[in-house]
Structure 1
Amino acid sequence: MPYKVNQERRHRIPKARCRVKNWHDYDAALRRRGDLTVWVTAEALEAWTPANTGRRGRPQRYSEMVVETGLMLRLAFGRPWRQTEGMLASILRLLGLALPVPDHTTFSRRSVDLTVAKAVRTATTPVNVVIDSTGLKVFGAGEWQRDKHGGKGRRTWRKLHLAVDPESGEILASELTTTEDGDASQIGPLLDQISGPIASVTADGAYDGDSVYRIIAQRDPAAAVIIPPRSTAVPSGTAETTPTPRDRHLRMIEERGRLGWQKAINYGRRSLGEVAMMRYKTVIGRRLHARTLPTQKAEAAAGCKALNVMTRLGMPVSQRIT
C-alpha cells in the first residue's frame, strides 16, 4: 500500500489475483536453474588452472574462478562446503574431465579474500535504479529457542544493500555492511558499481537528505531523484530562488497529496526493490554462512551473482485478473 494510506482498513481489501502469462517459458526457466551446466560454464573450465606467473613460491593450483564457481554452487543449491566439493567432483567426472577439485578447506580458506566478479551487466542506455536494504542473520539463538527458554540471546546481523533494475529484475550493484552503517551512506558505493548512465534513482524515505541528492547529482546530473520527503520537511529556499528537486517534490505533495504524488512520479516502482530482497531471501537464504565480514561480503556478492543467473534464464510476466 503506498504510504500506508489504507493501513487501517487493509484487512477488508481483498488480495489482488494475478495470472502468469508466460508460464510455459517460465516453467522451462525454473527447470534450467537445476541444470549443472548453467553453473559450471566453459569459461570456468578453461580458466581452471591459473597460468604460471614465474614468481617465487608454490603456484596456485586453482584459479579464483574455481573458488567463485564453488561458492555459487553452494549458495544456489544450499549445500555445505563438503557436499559442494563432492558435487563439483561428480560434475567433472560426468563431463569426462580430469581436473582437480579443491577440498572443502581450500574453498573455505580461499573464499576469505575472494573478489567476486560483479554480476552486473554493462548498461548502454540510461537505467532506472531502485535502492533498498535488508538484514541477513549471521548467528545467534533462533525464534524457537528464544520462545522455549526465554532470554534475548546473542544475535548478529548484516545489512545487504541492493541496487536493482526494475525492468529486468537484475541486481545492478550490492554492498554488505554492518548494522552501524546507515542506508544513505551506501548510495555512493552502489552507484559507483553501475558503469552506464542512470535515468532515475528511487528509494524510500530513509534516504531523504541533501547528501543523497548531492551524490546522485555528482554521479549523473540528469538523473531524476524519486525519494519521498519526510512529513516534517520544509522547502530549502525562498520563492525567488530556483527550487531544488526535493522542493519540487514538496510542492507536488502539497498540490496533489502524498498518494497523488506517488502516482504522478511512479513511486510504486520502489516495490520491485522489495521484491528483489524477497527473492534473495527465498532463493539464497535469510542468513550468512561465513563468520568474518570479508568472507560474508564475498558470499553476498556471489549470492547476488547466482540470483542474476537465475533471473536471466527467465522471469514470470504477471497480469492482474481482479
Structure 2
Amino acid sequence: MLWIRSRKFSPHEEIFIGSNSLWRDEAMLVWVLVLLALSIAGIALGIKAGWALLLLALASLLTQINSSPTLTAEERKAGDSRVDAHGITQVWVPAGAFNMGTDAVAVPVPSWARGELESEKPRHKVTLTQGYWIDRDEVTNAAFQAFVEDGGYTNQKLWSEEGWSWLKKSSGRSGAAVCENSEPDQPRACITWYEAEAYANWRSGHIPTEAEWEFAARGPDSLIYPYGNDYDANKANVTGKNSSSAVGSFPDGKSWVGANDMSGNLMEWVHDWLDIHYYNQMIEVDPQGPDIGHIKVEKGGWFGSNSFVARASYRHFEDAPSYQDHHIGVRIVTDEPRQ
C-alpha cells in the first residue's frame, strides 16, 4: 500500500511504502511516478522504448526504497511523526524518565474521588528504556471500521482467549457499538478493552501501559496536564462540551510529543490491571502493572471531566475489560524493534 501526502516532508517525518519501507524524499517519489507514467504511455502507443522507461522507473523505485535511510531510535526526536501501514499518524516518544503519580493536588478533589487520589500515591520516578510510537489521536470511527471490514471480528488470532470468549457470548456481535458520534473523524467510543486489544493486535501494536500513556502525556517535566501545569478548559474537550469532538480539535492542548486529546474528549483504556496499592511497589523501570486483576485502568479524562479528572496522573478504575461506555476509547502504541 502506498500513502502519499501532497506536501513536503520534514527530515523527521516518515512515510510508509508497503509495510516495512520508508520514504522521505518527495522529489524522488515524483520523479519515479513521472517515469512510470511516461512508460505506461509509451507502451500504450506501441513504442518499444516505453518498456525501457518502465524498467528504469522500477529500478529507480527499488533503489530508493532499499537505500532510503531510516532514522534509528537514537536519531529520532520527541514528536517526530510517521504514517503507519494502516494510514494512522503516530508520534515518537523517546526513552526517558519522569515522575509518575502524585503526592498532592492543587485543584478541588471531588468527594467521590478519595480512593482514586490515594491510588496515585506515591509520586515515584519511572524510566522507560525503549522509545515507542503512539497514535497522535484517539482511534477514530474510520480507523476502527477498517479493522471491522478486514475481518477483525471473525479472526480469532487477533483476540485473547478471554476476549474471544466474551465476543462469542455477545450475541454474534460483528462490530463495536456506536453509542456517541458516528462521524468518521470522531473518536471510537463504546469499545470494550477486549475489542481495543484485538484492534491493537491487528495494528501489530498494543494498548499502552499506564506508564507509556502517562509519559506520552506528561513528558520528562512531569506536567500535571499535557499542555502545562495550570488547568485550562479551553485547551481540551472537558466540562461543558457535553459530547465528543473530532480528534485533534484542540491543538493547543497537545502533549510534549504532539499527541492530541490526552486530557479530555474520551477516556482511554490502558494495558494495566488495577491494584490501588501498586505504586507502593515503586517499580522504577518499564512497569507493566499487576499480573492479574478484575478492573482495567483508564486515563486522560473525557468530555465531562473537571480539573481533577483531566490530570494526566488521574487513574479511573471502575470498569471491567468487558465494559463499554460513551466516554471510553483508546489509542495504540507500536514499539521500535530492539537493536
Q: Please classify the TM superposition score into its range, dividing by the shorter chain length.
A: under 0.3
TM-score by length of 1: 0.27
Which is helix-richer, 1 or 2?
1
Q: Does 1 or 2 have the higher relative contact order (CA < 8 Å, sep 6+)?
A: 1
